[in-house]
Structure 1
Amino acid sequence: MLFLGLLIIFGFYFFGQTNSSTQVITWQQLEEKYLQKGQVESIEIINKKIANVYLKDSVNKADEKDTGIFDQGLNNPDYQYTLGSVETFEDKVQKAEAEYNLSPVNVSYVYRTNWLENLLPWLLPIFLIVLFFYFMRKRAQQSMGGGNNIFSIGKSKAKIYDETNKPSVRFKDIAGLDEAKTEVQEVVHYLRDTRKYEAVGAKIPKGMLLVGPPGTGKTMMAKAVAGEANVPFLSMSGSDFVEMFVGVGASRVRNLFKQAKEKAPCIIFIDEIDAIGRSRGKAKSMQSNDEQENTLNQLLQALDGFETNSGVIVMAATNRRDVLDKALLRPGRFDREIYLDLPNLEERKAIFKVHLDTINVKNDIEVNILAAQTAGFAGANIANICNEAALMAARNERDYVINSSCELKG
């Protein structure tokens, strides 16, 4: 658009039909001041619309205006006269020549084409078509995941956490799951002090799979690792690899591990890995599943292939371990499986204490009773119970949460 605007401006200056630096006069002025005195050298009629008047060199041109910067070096006329009719103008000139006994004035006819004016009707539709396809391309990029370039569809969508944007969750914020925290903390300790482990000859597991029912804290455990680790943390969902275009999932896997190697040592976390890690060779009765299998094959090669991933630790979470491919679970890829089970009585007490500390409660609330009444509840269920109690307290115009059963008895 900027280039087109500049083109129009320069076309106006260089190829305009009129010259702004030339004074326009009337026929009476032309006849009385110059024509009857025989001072007109020639007249040039442009496109039968404008007459450029050139005076003889001997004429005093003191009243001539200064030429503009774009007119320097050009053979500009001394005056211009706007024609109404060419035939009428010719008759006036011939009558003046006969009346004043003048030698014939040289009258020439010139037809000038303004190429910019003729080109604009062609340029405007082309410009509108280009503009239309530009906006269509931008909308297609947004629907395919954004990016400044259409080829960025093959790049990973991993969210990177580093020193500047760490999650606020820490291991101390996770109640219960002591065994799982111990195993996960081992990874953090290794990344903080690798020499201690290397001195013994120990090798940190390449991959850890967090398995457990929904709501047991798998994603929260990953957030705690991101908050505690002093290394970059790349987080991505399994569904982010899935795309309707062939080869995009495998390309994103390659790009993800390429980013991780550049930032090593670092941690990769893939949530809901069952979206791409399902067993191969199944569920092909209705439609082909080649794209999912290609993505899985690329992930298997990236986890433990010919190329080494030194300093890259992969964490994944799922509640569907039974559907995962066996090649994904073998040692060397996900060496360690950490099972996050439903909390027991003591763990439920600890979870209640963590969530009740964030809301105003009355002293008569017994955490032991609440933990005993919520057998089989996951951590997410307990968090929801505490939040619902706070909402009910606000709905009933109270500033704190109370034990409703005790209030009914009283």
Structure 2
Amino acid sequence: MEPNTGVTFDDVAGVDEAKQDFQEIVDFLRTPGKFAAVGARIPKGVLLVGPPGTGKTLLARAIAGEAGVPFFSLSGSEFIEMFVGVGASRVRDLFNKAKENSPCLVFIDEIDAVGRQRGAGIGGGNDEREQTLNQLLTEMDGFTGNSGVIVIAATNRPEILDQALLRPGRFDRQVTVGLPDVRGREEILRVHSNNKKLETDVSLSVIAMRTPGFSGADLANLMNEAAILAGRRGKDKITSKEIDDSIDRIVAGMEGTKMTDGKNKILVAYHEVGHAVCATLTPGHDPVQKVTLIPRGQSRGLTWFIPGEDPSLVSKQQLFARIVGGLGGRAAEEIIFGEPEITTGAAGDLQQITQIARQMVTMFGMSEVGPWALIDPAVQSSDVVLRMLARNSMSEKLAEDIDTSVRRIIDNTFEIAKMHVRNNREAIDKLVEVLLEKETLTGDEFRAILSEFTIVPLDKIKKTGVREMIEA
């Protein structure tokens, strides 16, 4: 009844706000008198919302380990059966058993399986599911009520849940468990590296900076991949090389066969150096982390960047700089080899920069079209059915204005990228020469060579010997 899950709040990192909410519930269960003295009543339900892999189920396991009260754990799909009335009967049985053992905790994982919006007529809803949901609504806050039973539920699709389920009195609190920031990622990495042997030069803060957008599950997988690589290479400790290779593998795919063809290799080298030079010389772009000619996934070569700050808020200048950097490869091909020799290598870059430019116009209001959102939320919803049913209310004139603005942004940035390539041809030739020889250039090596030919902005340089040298 009091499960030893082996997980406590010490094992949960990077979600401090959610942890604090749950710590409060644990205190409520342990010392109810302290809260009752000021007229507080115990919350009936807590809904955990967030993307997959952020630690929602882990938090529930931690609260089970910490609370010291009976804990019932099940999945939303366990209520749904093909037989009529089974789901509602299981909900009744669950809450009857929970009331007998109150105070207690009930954890329902993936509650969207049973709590989907009623009467929507889309998404595969049926009467059996609705009866199960009705019974759940009644048990959580109906005529009889349920004192001492706290329901914790988790979902990554809150937009499809029934509104009656989300109201105060049923789920009193909605706790968002989002993707961790830099500090959160560092704490998560520290938790997952406790049982691993790391070389002394491995910096968890640098790994955290290199992994924006990674969830807790991604970071756990990263450290495990690094440990597997270290074992495969016969090492007794994980070094920075294993961690770098693991990040590259997770983000870009497996390492491919190295290129031997002279012409293709030279072209890819100019393409990647074009990205790195245009990004470095454009204000607002993140600093280069490394440039490599080693193929990964579909890419023949890659240029990596380290985000300078947490990328949750991005300025217009930063978005503009990303488009310039993204077009640097195509600009280098066109200027150095001529327009007839441009290749299909820029296909992925063009998709990315077109998406950024369109978002600047239609979502962020960063163009002459005006500061207003031009896309219906249903159109950009992840739900396929909602997208099919959404009516596009945009006029032909507005659609034309949007296309014109997107094209203007991309044309302007392409001219800037070509200007950077023309003005720094000597530096690009030197960088390509070194890159062809070494196949991989670190960010510091790249900036040291580039600074011999032009002034590198100081915000693109980390606190290393290169920065002191350039400042001097």
One-letter code aligned to 1:246: V
Deviation at 1:377, TM superposition (A): 0.5
Task: Show CA shifts across 1:57-107 (max 9, x none).
Answer: xxxxxxxxxxxxxxxxxxxxxxxxxxxxxxxxxxxxxxxxxxxxxxxxxxx
Amino acid at match of 1:380: A
Which one of the candidate residues 191, 194, 198 is aligned to 1:354? 191
* 2:111 maps to 1:266: no
Give the Cα separation in 1 of the matches to 2:185 and 2:103: 35
Identify the match of residue 245 of structure 1 among 68, 76, 83. 83
Matches within 5 A, 1:224-235: 224-235=62-73
Within 2, Cα distance between the matches of 1:317 and 1:178? Answer: 17
Residue among 364, 377, 380 paired with 2:214: 377
- Native 8 Å contact 2:42 2:148 kept in 1: no
State the shift of 1:258 in Å: 0.4
User: How big is the shift at 1:308?
Assistant: 2.0
Match of 1:204 among 31, 42, 46: 42
AA in 1 matched with 2:7: V
* 1:182 aligns to 2:20 (yes or no): yes
- What is the correspondence of 1:397-408 to structure 2 with a 5 Å cutoff? 397-404=234-241
Residue identity in the other structure for 2:153: A
Distance between the aligned counterparts of 2:170 and 2:101, measured in 1?
20
| Root mean square deviation, CA, Å | 1.9
Letter in 2 for 1:241: F
Q: Does 1:289 align with 2:126?
A: yes
Task: Go from structure 1 to structure 2 and tell me whether the alpha carbon gap of 1:284 and 1:385 turns closer, same or farther (over 3 Å shift).
Answer: closer
Rg comparison, structure with higher value: 1
Q: Deviations over 1:208-251 (max 9, x none)?
A: 00000001100000000000011101001001101111110000
> d(CA) in 2 for partners of 1:403 and 1:190?
44
Higher helix share: 2
- Greater share of strand residues, 1 or 2? 1
Alpha-carbon separation, structure 2, partners of 1:269 and 1:260: 11
Q: Relative to structure 1, is the Cα distance of residues 288 and 172 closer, same or farther in structure 2, using a 3 angstrom cutoff?
A: closer
Instruction: Return the alpha-carbon distance in structure 1 between the equivalents of residues 57 and 121 of structure 2.
Output: 28
Give the secondary structure class of the aligned counterpart of 1:309.
coil
Does the C-alpha gap of structure 1 residues 262 and 376 become closer, same or farther in structure 2, counting only changes over 3 Å? Answer: same
Contact 2:201 2:240 in 1 (8 A): yes
Q: CA deviation at 1:171?
A: 0.3
| Structure 2 match to 1:301 | 138
Q: Distance in 2 between matches of 1:370 and 1:359?
A: 15
Distance between the aligned counterparts of 2:15 and 2:188, measured in 1?
10
SS in structure 1 of the partner of residue 230 of structure 2? helix
The alignment partner of 1:200 has SS state of coil
Name the counterpart of 1:221: 59
TM-score, with structure 2 as normaliser = 0.51
- Equivalent runs, 1:308-319 vs 2, <5 Å: 308-319=145-156
Q: What TM-score, normalized to structure 1?
A: 0.58
Give the deviation of 1:397 after TM superposition.
1.5
C-alpha displacement of 1:323: 0.2
Aligned mates of 1:283, 1:385 — CA distance in 2: 41
1:357 Cα offset (Å): 1.4
Residue in 2 that maps onto 1:387: 224
Q: In structure 2, what is the equivalent of residue 341 of structure 1? A: 178
Dislocated runs of 4+, deviation >4 Å: 405-410
Residue identity opposite 2:104 in structure 1:
C
Shift of 1:318: 0.2
The structure-2 alpha-carbon separation of the partners of 1:382 and 1:284, relative to structure 1 and needing over 3 Å to count, comes to closer
Partner residue, 2:116: 278
Q: The residue matched to 2:206 in structure 1 has which SS?
A: helix
Gaps of 5+ in 1: 1-160
Residue-by-residue CA offset, 1:164-203 (whole Å, 9 max, x unaligned):
x321100011112111111111111000001111111101
1:299-333 per-position Cα deviation (integer Å, ceiling 9, x unaligned): 00000001121110000000000000000000100
In 2: Cα distance, 1:254 partner to 1:369 partner: 51
Aligned length: 247
Aligned to 1:365: 202
Note the C-alpha offset of 1:360: 1.1
What is the distance in 1 between the residues matched to 2:53 and 2:226?
Answer: 19
Identical pairs, percent = 55
Mapped partners of 1:369, 1:238: distance in 2 = 39
Distance in 2 of aligned mates of 1:233 and 1:298: 21
The whole-number CA distance in structure 2 between the counterparts of 1:175 and 1:313 is: 23
